[in-house]
Amino acid sequence: MSPRMNAARAPRVTPAVTGSPTEQELINSLGWLIRMRWCAAAAVLVGTAITAHVVHLPVPERSAYLVGVAIIAYNVLFQLALGRLDLLGPRVPLACQRFARVQIALDWLAMAVLIALTGGIESPAIVFFLFHIAIASLLLPHDREFLQVALAPILVAGIAWLEARGILHHTSLVDPPRYNNPLYVAEVLVVFTCASYVMAYLAMSISRRLRRREAELAGLYESVRATTSTLELSAVLDRLAKATARVLGCRGAAIRLLDSTGRQLVAAASHGVSEEFVSAVLELSRSSIDREALLENKALFIDALADPRIVYPEANRREGIRTVLVAPLVGKTGSIGVLRAYGGEGHQFTRDDANFLLAVAAQGVIAIENAQAYEMLARLDRDKSQFIRTVTHELRSPVQVSQKLLALLEEGYVGQLTPEQGELVTRARRRIEFLQTLVDDLLDLAAGKAGLQPRGERQEVDLQVVVHDVCARFAAAAHSKGLQLRVEAAEGGVAVVGDAGDIDRMLNNLVANAIRYTPQGNVVVRLAREDHLARMTVTDTGIGIPADALPHLFEEFFRAPNAKAVAEHGTGLGLAIVKGLVERYGGTIAVDSEQGRGTTFVVRLPISGATANAAGGAAVTG
Amino acid sequence: MAKILMMDDDSDCVTSMRIPLESRGHEFFAAFSGEEGLALVKQIGPDLILLDVMMDTRTEGFHVSLRLRDRSPDSEFAAWRSVPILMLTSIHQTTRLRFGPDEDYLPVDALLEKSVPFDVILRKIEELLKGSERPAHA
C-alpha cells in the first residue's frame, strides 16, 4: 500500500548530493526544449516551403528560411552551452535560470518575426505562441509570470500596430486584408490575450502539481532513507517526526505509541513543539480523535481551536497550533499508535497532505516495527548471557566449597579420621569432583550452544604456545602413569584468530582423553601447517574406539563401552565440547582409531587471515 | 605467624581457609563484605589479604583492591598499599586477567581459582608473605 521507492528510480528525484530537484529537472527540461527546437526549425522550413509551393500563398520565402536557419544556429549554440552547463552542474542555479530565460526570449523573438512575416494579426501562426507560453509557464518560476505572459499579446499588438501604420510590411495571406480593420484587430487581440492567460494558468497549475509531487516523492524518499538507516528505535521515531514536519512543510509533528495495555498513548517523539505541549501519557478512552483515526484507519483534519473533540483547545492556542492532521500508525499486528502533524497560524492541510501523511505513516510503521524487533533480539541476547553467567556462578560455588570442606576432613586438618571415615569422605569428595567437572562441561556446552561471543577479545593466538601450555599441564599426570608425552611442532609460527581459552580447551580435552584412556605407551601432540589451515593432531597408543562407537563419538554424554572399563566416571561431554568449539572456529575434526591399538584426533583450523568455508564438521574414518 | 585477613561473603569458604591457615600458626580474621573488610584493614593492619572476587556484587573484589591500591597520596589506605593481596575466584578458566603493580593491570599480587588444592594456596601465601618482607616500594 505504501509507495515503495526502488533504488533505480531514486536518483532522478533525489536531492541527495547537489542542488534541489528543480535544478536538475530544469537542466533536463532545457535539454528537451533544445531537442524540440530542432523539430520547430524543421517545421518552419518545411512549412514555409509548403505554404509557398503547395498552397501557393505569397509568403516571403527567403526571410522565412532565414528565420529557420537562425533558429538552427542559436540552437547549436544552446546545445553547446548546455554541454558546458552540465559539467558545471547544478552548482550554478542562477545560470540555469538565466539560460532558460535566454532560450525562451529568443524563441518569442523568432515567433514574433515569423508572425510578422506571415500576415501579422492575420497570421495563423499566432496559435503557436500559445505553446511558447505553456513552455515558459512550465520552466520558469511563477513569480512574475502574469507580467511575462502579457508580453505575448503586447508583441502581437505591436506587430499589428506597426503593420497598420505601414512601418512594417504586411504580407497578405487572406483576401480581403483585415489587418487595418481595428475591430478585427481588437477581437483577435482579445481572444489571443484570453487564450494566453488560460494557457498560462493551465500550465502553471500542472507545473505546480508536478513540482509538489516531486517534492513529496523526494520527501518520502528522504524520510524512508532517514528512518530505515538506523535500527535504534528512538532514532527512528525522532527522524520520522522530523521528516513528517519537513515534508508537509508544517510547524511540527508528534508520534504517540500505544502501550502494552493498548489503552494509553505514550509520547514517543516530537519535533517543532515544546516539551510541555506533548504530555507524556494520553488515555485513549479520553481522546476521541485518536480513537476515531485508529478505528477508521484514515487521516483526520482537526481545527485545533474549534473542534469539539479537542479537550484542551487552550493548550493549542498557547502553542500556536491552529490545525492538526492525525494519521493512524497501523502495522502488521494492528495499530501501534498515531502520527500527528501540527499546522501553525494560517496553515491549511489539504487532501493531498492527508494522503501523503498516510504514506509516511505506512512506511514509518515498517521502520518502527523493525527497530522494535531488533531491540527485542538484543535484549534476549543480553538476557541469555546474563542467565548463563549467573548460573555459572550459582552452580559452581556450592560445589567448590563442598569440595574444600571435605578436603579439610580428608587431609587431616580437623583431626585424624579412622580409615573407614576417610574412605567415605574420599568417595564423597570424588563424586563432588566429578560433579564439578560435569557442571563445568555443561556450562561450556551451554555457552557454545547459546552462541555467546568468545569470552576474551579476538586476538592472534599462537598455537605453539597453547600446545606447550597444555602439555606442560599434563606432564605430571602422564609421568605418574608412566606415559611418554611428546610435542612435535612445526617450525615457524602458526596462529589462529580467536580466544586463547577456547583453543586451550579444545586441546585440553583431547589430551586429557588421550592420557586417561592410554594405560601404557605414549601420547604425541603434533602441530603443523597445511596450506591455509593449522593442523593439530593428538595420537595415543591407548584402548582405541570400537568401530560401532565411532559414529556416536561426538554426541553429548556418549561414552564408548570400553572407556567405562578404564575410567569409571566421565561426563561424556568432552568431545562434544571440542566439536562445538572447532565448528565455531570454522574448522574440522576427524578421528582415526582401532580398538586395542590407539586413536588419533585431527583438528584443522583456518589460520588467521584465511577463511575456511563456513560448514565445519566432524569426519570419521577408519 | 602472620595476620591474614580474608574477605568473602561465603562462610563455608571462610571456614575452609581458616582451618588450614590457623593450623600453620597464622592469625586469621574474616570479613563478609568489602566494606567490613576495609574497616578491618584499618583496625588490624594485616600482613596479607585474601580477597574473593564476587561478593555482594559481581565486581566487589576488584573495587576493594582498587581502593586499597589507590595511588593518590591522600588515600585513606595509603599505609596498607603494599600489603600483598591474593585474589580467589570461582571463575573457571583464568580469563587472562593480568595482575601486577602496574596501573593498567589488576592491582593484586596473585590470582588463584578456589578449586586448587590447599597446598597450592598455602604455598602461594607463604611466597607472598616472604616477598613482602622486602622493603616496600613507594
What would the pLDDT profile of A61-91 be if each residue is shown by its tens digit?
888 899 999 999 999 998 888 887 766 655 5
Rounded to the nearest 10°, the torsion over CA A358, A361, A362, A365 is -160
Binary contact (B118, A411; C-beta < 8 A): yes
Kind plus residue range of the DSSP H or E element containing A578: helix A574-584
Contact B16 A407 (CB under 8 A): yes
Q: Which residue type occupies A466? A: V
Whether this prediction's pTM lies above 0.90 is answered by: no
For residue B94, the model assigns a pLDDT of 40
User: Shortest CA distance to B137 belongs to which of B98, B87, B83?
Assistant: B83
Q: May I ask the CATH class of domain B3-131?
A: alpha beta
Q: Is the Cβ pair B114, A401 closer than 8 Å?
A: yes
The answer to whether the Cβ–Cβ distance between B19 and A440 falls below 8 Å is no
Q: Encode pLDDT of A413-440 as tens digits.
A: 889 999 999 989 988 988 888 888 888 7
Question: What pLDDT score does A90 carry?
Answer: 53
Per-residue pLDDT, A597: 92
Mean pLDDT, rounded, of chain A:
83
Nearest to B19 among A402, A413, A456 (CB): A413
Whether residue A494 contacts residue A531, with contact meaning beta carbons closer than 8 Å, is answered with no
Contact B89, B112 (CB under 8 A): yes
Residue A128 reports pLDDT greater than 80 = yes
Kindly state the percentage of chain B with pLDDT values over 70. 80
**Binary contact (B115, A403; C-beta < 8 A):** yes
- Distance (Å, whole) CA B56 – CA B33: 7
Sign of the dihedral through C-alpha B3, B9, B11, B15: negative
Q: Residue B93 and residue A411: Cβ atoms within 8 Å?
A: no
Helix (H, G, I), strand (E, B) or coil at A349: coil
Among B114, B119, B121, B122, pick the best mutation site for testing chain A contact (most A Cβ within 10 A): B114
CB contact under 8 A, B16 and A401: yes
- Choose the closest CB to A404 out of B16, B23, B54: B16
Residue A448 makes CB contacts below 8 A (sequence gap 6+) with A577, A580, A581, A584
A460 CB near a chain B CB, below 8 Å?
no
Indicate if the pLDDT at residue B138 is higher than 60. no
Closest CA to A67 of A97, A87, A47: A47
Q: Return the residue of B nearest to A414 by Cα.
A: B19
Identify the weakest region by mean pLDDT among A506-510, A612-616, B38-42: A612-616
**Average model confidence (pLDDT) for chain B?**
80
Best to test chain B binding among A388, A390, A391, A401 (most B CBs inside 10 Å):
A401
CB A471 within 8 A of CB A509: no
Q: What is the mean pLDDT of residues B49-64?
A: 78
Query: For the segment B112-131, what is each residue's pLDDT rounded down to a tens digit?
Result: 888 788 888 999 999 998 88
Nearest one of A46, A57, A59, A39 to A131, comparing CA atoms = A39
Q: What is the mean pLDDT of residues A460-471?
A: 89
Of B19, B96, B114, the CB nearest to A408: B19
Q: How far apart are CA A327 and CA A341, in angstroms?
A: 8
ipTM > 0.90? no
Q: Decide which of A400 and B6 is more confident.
A: B6
Select from A591, A583, A573, A570 the least CA-distant residue to A617.
A583
Q: How far apart are CA A415 and CA A304, in angstroms?
A: 89
Q: What percent of chain A has pLDDT over 90?
A: 23
Cell (9 digits) for B32: 563478609
pLDDT at A13 over 50: no
DSSP string, A152-173: HHHHHHHHHHHHHTTSSPPP--
Query: Nearest Cβ partner of B90 from A397, A501, A504?
Result: A397
pLDDT in tens, A199-236: 888 888 888 888 777 777 887 787 778 777 788 888 88
What pLDDT does A620 receive?
39
Mean pLDDT computed over A469-497:
88
Cα gap A515→A212, rounded to integer Å: 80
CA distance A572 to A164: 115
Chain B environment of A455 (Cβ under 8 Å):
95
Do A171 and A105 form a contact (C-beta atoms < 8 A)?
A: no
The domain limits of chain A are 10-225, 238-360, 379-449, 459-621
Please, which pLDDT band fits residue A621 given cuts at 50, 70 and 90?
very low
More confident site: A320 or A387: A320
DSSP codes of every residue in A443-496: HHHHHHHTTPPPSS--EEEEHHHHHHHHHHHHHHHHHHHT-EEEEEE-SS--EE
For residue range B94-106, list pLDDT tens digits in order. 444 444 444 445 6
What's the rounded Cα separation, in Å, for the pair B97 and A593?
Answer: 39
pLDDT band (50, 70, 90) for residue A92: low
CA distance B23 to chain A (A): 7
Q: Name A446's Cβ contacts closer than 8 Å, sequence gap at least 6.
A: A388, A391
Q: What is the pLDDT confidence band of residue A584, given thresholds at 50, 70 and 90?
A: confident
In a 13 Å sphere around the CA of B90, the CA atoms on its Cβ side amount to: 28
Grid cell of A523 as nine digits: 601420547
Rounded Cα distance, A233 and A374, in Å: 9
Contact B114 A400 (CB under 8 A): yes
Q: Which chain B residues touch A388 with a CB distance below 8 Å?
A: none
More reliable by pLDDT, B93 or B76:
B76
Question: Would you state the pLDDT for residue A451?
Answer: 60
Q: Which residues of A touch B10 (CB under 8 A)?
A: 397, 401
Q: What is the pLDDT of residues A152-179, one digit of tens each?
A: 889 888 988 888 888 888 877 777 777 7
pLDDT at A214: 79
Is A455 an 8 Å CB contact of chain B?
yes
pLDDT at B58: 62
Homologous superfamily (CATH) for A238-360: GAF domain (3.30.450.40)
Q: Number of residue pairs across A and B with CB atoms under 8 Å?
A: 52
Average the pLDDT over A339-347 and give the result.
Answer: 89
Residue of B15, B17, B19, B89 for testing the chain A interface, max A β-carbons within 10 Å: B19
Give the mean model confidence (pLDDT) for residues B83-93.
Answer: 77
| Least confident interval from A155-169, A453-467, A531-545, A591-605 | A453-467
Supply the pLDDT for residue B59: 66
C-alpha triplet A361, A316, A271: angle, nearest 5°: 40
Q: How far apart (Å, rounded) are the C-alpha atoms in residues B29 and A420?
A: 34
Q: Mark yes or no for CB contact B16/A456 under 8 Å.
A: no
Q: A323 near A183, Cβ under 8 Å?
A: no
Q: Does domain A459-621 have CATH number 3.30.565.10?
A: yes
Q: Is residue A393 within 8 angstroms of chain B, CB to CB?
A: yes
pLDDT of residue A261: 86
Task: Indicate the pLDDT class of residue A497, thresholds 50, 70 and 90.
Answer: confident
The confidence band for A538, taking pLDDT boundaries of 50, 70 and 90, is very high
Best mutation target, B6, B11, B15, B16, to test chain A (most A CBs within 10 A): B16
How far apart, in whole angstroms, are the C-alpha atoms of residue A33 and residue A472?
85
Q: Which residue among B15, B91, B96 sits closest to A500, beta carbon to beta carbon?
A: B96
Question: Rounded to whole angstroms, how far apart are CA atoms A481 and B107?
Answer: 40
pLDDT for the residue numbered B97: 44
Q: Where are the domains of chain B?
A: 3-131
C-alpha B104: how far from chain center:
19
